[in-house]
């Protein structure tokens, strides 16, 4: 069994070393902020914000693998009351992206898969707060966007069980520029 793991590790290492990016630096970290819209069909949703931190490793100039760490705060107003519910969704997802161009303007498409954890707080009109227990589920997201300079703009649809949210983000990245 140890030999199988050793052989697999060696093969992956050789492929990674041979397939490194030639034009761009191999490692970069994205930081993004955006607007999130719940897609659960609830007409009482008021949207929210999202914050993302995502390190990437470029296998080639066109392919990058990463890990997305994201938190989104989504708001809902309860009908007929003054109660407000705020749901916080945190995600930890493996990602992959394909860049269509190698120039200064780089459109891309990608996807991710991972664990989404949600917890909500309902604030009542009598200043009472009800905290629901956290719940973790697997989810996925497709994304499209572009990079220009060190600016990154993207749209994602985060699908979690029977709901989710659409996020429109703008941000920047450290590293990853031209060699």
Q: What confidence tens digit (pLDDT) does each residue in 20-75 have? A: 557 878 899 999 999 999 887 666 777 899 999 999 998 888 999 999 999 999 88
Cα–Cα distance for residue pair 169/163, rounded to 1 Å = 19
Among 33, 57, 38, residue whose Cα is nearest residue 153: 33
Q: What is the structure's pLDDT at 43?
A: 63
Task: Flag the least confident range among 64-68, 137-141, 174-178.
Answer: 174-178
Q: What is the structure's pLDDT at 69?
A: 96
Buried b (16+ CB within 10 A) or exposed e, 66-98: bebebebebbbeeeeeebbbbbebebebebebe
Task: Flag the least confident range among 40-44, 70-74, 126-130, 160-164.
Answer: 40-44
Q: Is the pLDDT of residue 2 over 70?
A: no
Q: What is the structure's pLDDT at 133?
A: 78
CB 130 within 8 A of CB 124: yes
Q: What is the mean pLDDT of residues 103-110?
A: 92
Which one has a higher pLDDT value, 122 or 9? 122
Angle at 74 between CA 80 and CA 107, to 5 degrees: 140
Q: What is the mean pLDDT of residues 134-147?
A: 93
CB 53 within 8 A of CB 46: no
Q: Is the pLDDT of residue 127 over 70?
A: no
Q: What is the structure's pLDDT at 14?
A: 52
DSSP bridge partners of 131: 121
Q: What is the structure's pLDDT at 95?
A: 96
Q: Is the pLDDT of residue 148 over 70?
A: yes
Q: Is the pLDDT of residue 178 over 80?
A: no
> Has this prediction a pTM greater than 0.85?
no
Q: What is the mean pLDDT of residues 96-122?
A: 91
């Amino acid at each position: 069994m140890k030999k199988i793991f050793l052989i697999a590790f060696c093969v992956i290492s050789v492929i990674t070393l041979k397939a490194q990016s030639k034009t761009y630096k191999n490692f970069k970290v994205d930081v993004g902020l955006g607007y999130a819209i719940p897609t659960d069909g609830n007409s009482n949703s008021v949207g929210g914000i999202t914050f993302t931190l995502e390190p990437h490793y470029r296998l080639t100039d066109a392919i990058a693998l990463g890990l997305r760490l994201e938190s989104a705060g989504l708001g809902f107003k309860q009908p007929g009351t003054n109660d407000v519910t705020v749901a916080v969704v945190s995600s930890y997802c493996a990602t992959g992206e394909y860049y269509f161009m190698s120039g200064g303007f780089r459109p891309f498409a990608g996807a991710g898969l991972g664990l989404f954890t949600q917890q909500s707080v309902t604030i009542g009109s009598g200043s009472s707060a009800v905290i629901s227990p956290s719940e973790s589920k697997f989810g996925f997201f497709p994304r499209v966007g572009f990079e220009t300079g060190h600016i990154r703009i993207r749209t994602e649809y985060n699908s979690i069980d029977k709901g989710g949210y659409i996020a429109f983000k703008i941000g920047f990245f450290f590293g990853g520029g031209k060699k």
